[in-house]
Amino acid sequence: METSLRVLGAEHPNTLTIINNLSVTYKNQGRWKEAEELAVQVIETSLRVLGAEHPSTLTSMANLASTYMNQGRWKEAEELEVQVIETRKRVLGAEHPDTLGSMNNLALTYRNQGRWKEAEELEMQVMETSLRVLGAEHPSTLTSMNNLAFAWERQGRDTEAVKLMEECVRLRARVLGIDHPDTISSFATLIGWQTEKLDIGASGVRE
């Protein structure tokens, strides 16, 4: 980053990408203040130099939204995510993988607030589009299946949630392998739900 700043300048697209990457590194370490400061800096420069609809600008905005979400700053995260979705739909189209990724991020923000119905609506839309555009075995499609199953389970739609998670586990095992972290995570979730259903069936009570 220091070399890029010196050689290319603070407004060069490559410099902005490097700064954004450093912001993501800080975010992944939980260094929220540092991550936010860099992300805001990149966004302000990108808006001025590249414009509001440039893919790099939108990536930086999505990164800042994620930083807000990880801090529980739901309103700020939601506002940015909605803005990114609307712009990506207009520029890239509703079926573009980046657009679908942004919709999934907004659904996650809803999930983290317990807004399950809103999360479900978005996740259903993402899954249906992913199935049509990317195919049933694409990792992004499988992620959307996993997320929709969670939204159903949290709303008490246990049978549907278990069935969808079973399909997700089956496909992830085939596509990613049984030892992949995503497969293991979905399988562990499925076992937990199935065990809970057995316990409820035995006691007749859902805790």
Q: Which two tokens stand for residue 141?
A: 């499609």
- 197 — pLDDT class (breaks 50, 70, 90): confident
Distance CA 93, CA 100 (A): 10
Q: What is the mean pLDDT of residues 109-118?
A: 92
Would the CA dihedral through 182, 183, 188, 192 be positive or negative? positive
The whole-number pLDDT of residue 205 equals 47
Q: Can you tell me the distance from the alpha carbon of 135 to that of 203, in angstroms, rounded to the nearest whole number?
A: 40
Give 196's pLDDT tier (boundaries 50, 70, 90): confident
Averaged pLDDT score across all residues of the chain: 91
Which helix (H) or strand (E) covers residue 187, if one does? helix 181-203
Location of structure tokens 């899954």: 127
Rounded Cα distance between 193 and 26, Å, is: 35
39-81 confidence digits (pLDDT tens): 999 999 999 999 999 988 999 999 999 999 988 999 999 999 9
